Amino acid sequence: MKDDSFIFWILLLVNGVSDANQNAVNLTLMVGDSVTLNSGLSEISKEDTMRWFFKKEGQNEERIAEITGEKIRLDDLNGIFKDKLELEKKNAFLTITSISSKNTGEYKLKKSENIIISFIVNVKDGVKNVPVIEGDSVTLHTGVILKRDVKWTFENRDLKPSDDQTGDLTITNIDNHQSGNYVLEINNSTMGLNRTYYIALIDGVKKETVKEGNPVNLRTGLIEIKGYDLVLWKTKDVTVAEINKNKNKFLTLDKGDTRYGGRLDFIQQSGNLIIRDSRTTDSGDYDLQMNSSTYSLQRTIRVTVNNSGVATGAATGIVVGLLVLHWCL
Ligand SMILES: *[C@@H]1O[C@H](CO)[C@@H](O)[C@H](O)[C@H]1NC(C)=O
Ligand SMILES: *[C@@H]1O[C@H](CO)[C@@H](O)[C@H](O)[C@H]1NC(C)=O
Ligand SMILES: *[C@@H]1O[C@H](CO)[C@@H](O)[C@H](O)[C@H]1NC(C)=O
Ligand SMILES: *[C@@H]1O[C@H](CO)[C@@H](O)[C@H](O)[C@H]1NC(C)=O
Ligand SMILES: *[C@@H]1O[C@H](CO)[C@@H](O)[C@H](O)[C@H]1NC(C)=O
Ligand SMILES: *[C@@H]1O[C@H](CO)[C@@H](O)[C@H](O)[C@H]1NC(C)=O
């Protein structure tokens, strides 16, 4: 009995140590990315056996790739790495293509029992399809901090990153020539990564003209805004509606703003905003800002609420009245 508990504690200790791998490279990836884990070796000897192991949290590590001389062996671990692994003979770089959340875990390269390098890979479900309407501006995020290691291509043409620090790419005033696949390549001494963003032009209106009293529909173009941290509608620099996940906020109107007096419907699922029973004073530019961890988008919709015939007459009357008043002074 005493011996058993002793062994139990030893096991716990060993486990605890291996779980808290301080030297591991920590990577956050998106579903669908392809990544190359760099072994840090320029060449491996033909005599050596090199093995990559995968360890899911709370489970034992299992071998996924092995190389001895010319011989490579890959294990798909019951399908979770099926057709996803490539091992380079020369330097034991491991590539995982089209990564999925099931591939989240720790990756360790060993020569015999010696750990050469290890990676902690976190795979998140980020938004990579970007639905836009003509005239939108979009910034695609790299998630890195060194522009040096970043390359963007669109239709086999290289694009210059817009942000000198992060290498983020901004595309302004989008038209149909700019929809398509944007390929991000990141390459540094610890890893290589390929990610494809897809900018899709969808139908939508940049100018919304309605008759007074009719509803104004301001649309995000999305069915669900689940993957977004921020959806913000503003007009004349005042917040009209906001969903802010980081601040745990869902609101319409800044405090104390009475212009819309209960005429706003903010749809939580789509982020669409409806102004009911519109008034001419609702006219103006409405700015939409949508942010996810992978990109951010800006859109401006020009709203014109037309006077009904009677109101137009009344407005003219007022102008005439003012002119007369002016004349008398
Ligand atoms: C890895 O990075 C993520 C995101 O920055 C963080 O949440 C996590 O705690 C890190 N993991 C380790 C083991 O350092
Ligand atoms: C990324 O794409 C480039 C160019 O097509 C290719 O050379 C490289 O091996 C790819 N890297 C990964 C990790 O898939
Ligand atoms: C390489 O890029 C990854 C992803 O941005 C980063 O986590 C890592 O620290 C970088 N390594 C070096 C040596 O810059
Ligand atoms: C990636 O970076 C490594 C180390 O910085 C370099 O040796 C290699 O040539 C680079 N690969 C590509 C495709 O740029
Ligand atoms: C949203 O994205 C824009 C552009 O990248 C950025 O300027 C702004 O700070 C972001 N807002 C929030 C609340 O993250
Ligand atoms: C409403 O505005 C549109 C666009 O400016 C214009 O074509 C239309 O004639 C206007 N209708 C009325 C009733 O004023």
Q: Is 222 in the pocket of ligand 2 (CB under 6 A)?
A: no
pLDDT above 70 covers a percentage of the chain that reads 85
Domain ranges in the chain are: 19-124, 129-201, 207-308
Query: What span, in angstroms and rounded, lies between the C-alpha atoms of 194 and 36?
Result: 9
Residue 315, H or E segment: helix 309-328
Q: Is the pLDDT of residue 10 over 60?
A: no
Do the domains 129-201 and 19-124 match in fold? Answer: yes
Q: What is the pLDDT of residue 255?
A: 65
| Ligand 2: centre distance to CA 187 (Å) | 9
- Cα-flanking dihedrals φ and ψ of residue 253, to 5°? 75, 140
Residue from 37, 90, 187 to probe ligand 4 pocket by mutation (most atoms less than 8 Å from CB)? 187
Q: How far is CA 288 from CA 115, 124, 138, 282, in A?
A: 50, 25, 12, 16
Q: Which residue has the tokens 């982020």?
A: 271
One-letter amino acid identity for 44?
I
pLDDT above 90 covers a percentage of the chain that reads 67
Tell me the mean pLDDT in the region 259-274: 91
Q: Tens of pLDDT along 175-204?
A: 999 999 999 999 999 999 999 999 999 988
Q: Is the pLDDT of residue 329 over 80?
A: no
Q: Is the pLDDT of residue 317 over 70?
A: no
CATH of domain 19-124: 2.60.40.10
| Domain 207-308 class, CATH top level | mainly beta
Q: Which residue has the tokens 């104004």?
A: 216
Split at pLDDT 50, 70, 90, the class of 145 is low
Query: What span, in angstroms and rounded, lies between the C-alpha atoms of 252 and 10?
Result: 57
* DSSP letter assigned to residue 128: -
CATH of domain 129-201: 2.60.40.10
Ligand 2, residue 185: give the atom nearest the CA. 1
Which range (77-91, 169-183, 240-254, 265-279) has the least confidence? Answer: 240-254
Q: Is the pLDDT of residue 30 over 80?
A: yes
